[in-house]
Amino acid sequence: MYAIQDRLLDGLRLQWEDGKRSNNDDNQSSPIKDTKQSVPFIIQRIGRGNKQEIEEITKLCIGVFFNEQEGLDSKVNTPPWKSLQLAYLGNLQRGDILARNAFNKDQLVDLIVARRIYSVDGSSNNKVDGKDAASVVRDDCQIFNAEQLPSSDGDETRLVVGEIIGYCEMTEKKFGLGGKFEDDAEEKSRPYLGNLSVAKYARSSGVGSALLDECESVVSDEWNAGHTEIVLQVEEDNTSAIQFYKRRGWEFAFADPTCRRFDTSGLFLKESRITKFAMVKRLQRRKGGQNGLSNGGDADSVLDKLRNSFFEPDEFEAQVAQELLNLEMTSTELKASLSDLFITAAKEVDCGSGRKAIIMYVPYKLQRSFQKIQARLVRELEKKFSGRHVIIVAQRNILGKSYARSQKTKGLRPRSRTLTAVQDAILEDIVYPTEITGKRTRCKVDGRRVLKVYLDGRDQANVEGRTDTYAAVYGKLTNKQVSFHFSA
């Protein structure tokens, strides 16, 4: 099938190249926009958009995502087979927006666009390149890169709004992050940023940054729904976009290798598998009086013990951070060691039979420092949280099989970031400071597997009462069944 497609595609491409050469003179004489000069623009919120705006948005998105090699305003003709593909994708994009407007009227949605600004004289009747501009720029609008506009000559010159050069959309949708980020099994509604696209000739003008700033403003000031973070997904091979988001304060959450995207490189449109990275941006955290942070101690000092987490700390995390701060202030043994240490998250899990345990997540780079004082720290915290065992686990990332290093650092994915290696490391964190002396996997008749872990028998007196908690916590974190035994 694909061999026939390649032969047909090669033949059509040769015919197309022959016909395209005859139009080179016309194409060379057509105007091309300067890609080095910053473009003046404004940011607009258009709600759900009208028909004309949706058509402009569709044209921009399809041109950026699927026709990038030609640019938005290039005069180079598109091959007919690709034109059909782009038309089909445009209908999908347009239909998605219209269907959402028709059937999901209660959903929080805001379309945000960047429009180019032109300076015209009074005799042009607000026409730009022979086309009617959208409107005259209001006096209260913030114009980005206004210094690029020509100086006004008299009262006849005015600023008008032109075409859309940037777009993104904010929608509230169910988006689960799993693991320690969810309080329950139900997915949480979160603000989702999608379809961020900027015209090629406007990419060095700050359009993307301005759109992201407006998205954060919409969620924080307009929606007023109590959201504390924004999420998005970006394809793993889009390295420039990933670096852009990182510079803007976005953090990696997880990788989803089951995503798909449309491939327009062949004669027939097809879907290919792609890994997408989920990224999270925490909105500015409120200080004092929130989530119990003002109950004793300075709020900033408490938050200093709970850093680099993705979300607004809940009441329980604030309580754990407060206890760490209290130990730093009162314990002479731990004061010096705890001064530079902090946690990233804390979670209380049910271990069955009415027992509960506390999992404290710490940065991987600080794990060794925590282990130096872990015995004393756990003992003091378990006095504060009576009846609950405290477990300290390092924060680690799992990289999928499709992970590829950047061009600067070639090679396979690190062994320490595979699923098996991370789960083994979690097991060692849970039982620390006791050493694991052996492991066996028992396969039962019904297909279930039970991991039998043998601990150092010298620690049996101190650890035997905690093994049920260890098994419950490991099961919660990895969904694997484990039983603990002691070596002779």
| Reported confidence tier of residue 189, pLDDT bands at 50, 70, 90 | confident
The residue that leads in pLDDT, 19 or 331, is 331
- What pLDDT digit, counting tens, does each position of 359-374 carry? 999 988 899 999 999 9
Cβ burial 303-318 (10 Å sphere, 16+ → b, else e): bebbeebbbbbeeebb
Q: Is 110 helix (H, G, I), strand (E, B) or coil?
A: strand
C-alpha separations of 394 from 170, 371, 476 in Å: 33, 10, 15
443 or 141: which carries more pLDDT confidence?
Answer: 443
Q: What is the pLDDT of residues 260-309, one digit of tens each?
A: 889 888 888 888 889 999 998 887 654 444 444 444 445 556 666 777 55
Residues 186 and 212: their CA atoms lie apart, in Å, by: 28
Q: What's the rounded mean pLDDT across residues 215-242?
A: 87
Would you give the DSSP letter of residue 67?
-
Terminal-residue alpha carbon distance, the chain: 63
pLDDT tens per residue across span 310-333? 556 778 888 888 888 888 888 888
Q: What share of the chain in percent tops pLDDT 70?
A: 78
- Please state, in angstroms and rounded to a whole number, the distance separating the CA atoms of residues 67 and 264: 9
pLDDT single digits (tens) 116-167 = 998 887 655 555 555 555 577 776 678 898 888 877 655 567 788 889 999 9
Which pLDDT belongs to residue 29? Answer: 39
Q: Is 145 helix (H, G, I), strand (E, B) or coil?
A: coil
User: In 3-state terms, what secondary structure has residue 112?
Assistant: strand
Q: What is the pLDDT of residue 74?
A: 46
Q: Is the pTM of this model over 0.75?
A: no
446 pLDDT higher than 60? yes
Q: In which residue are the tokens 């504390």 written? A: 228
Q: Which of 142-156, 189-203, 430-444 has the lowest mean pLDDT?
A: 142-156
Instruction: Average the pLDDT over 178-205 and give the result.
Output: 77
User: Do the Cβ atoms of 145 and 182 come closer than 8 Å?
Assistant: no
Q: What is the mean pLDDT of residues 330-340?
A: 85
How far apart are alpha carbons 115 and 143 in whole angstroms? 10
Q: Side chain identity at 42, as an amino acid letter? A: I
In the numeric block, the tokens 């992050």 are attached to 177
Across the chain, how many H-helices and E-strands are there? 14, 15
For 126-209, strand residue ranges (E) read: 127-128, 131-132, 158-174, 189-198
How do residues 23-49 score in pLDDT, each as one tens digit? 444 444 334 454 457 899 999 999 999
Residue 42, pLDDT score? 93
Question: Which pLDDT band holds residue 1 (cuts at 50, 70, 90)?
Answer: very low
**pLDDT tens by residue, 404-431:** 665 555 677 888 888 999 999 999 999 9
Do residues 349 and 317 touch, judged by C-beta distance below 8 A?
A: no
* Confidence band for 14, pLDDT divided at 50, 70 and 90: low
Contact (Cβ atoms closer than 8 angstroms) between residue 201 and residue 71: yes
68-121 pLDDT, tens digit per residue, is: 654 444 445 778 888 888 999 999 989 999 998 888 888 899 999 999 998 887
Neighbouring C-beta atoms of residue 458, cutoff 10 Å:
12
- Of the two residues 184 and 241, the one the predictor is more confident about is 241
Check: CB of residue 230 under 8 Å from CB of residue 215.
yes
**In what helix (H) or strand (E) does residue 411 lie, and over which residues does it extend?**
none
- Yes or no: say if 442 and 482 are a contact pair by the CB < 8 Å rule: no
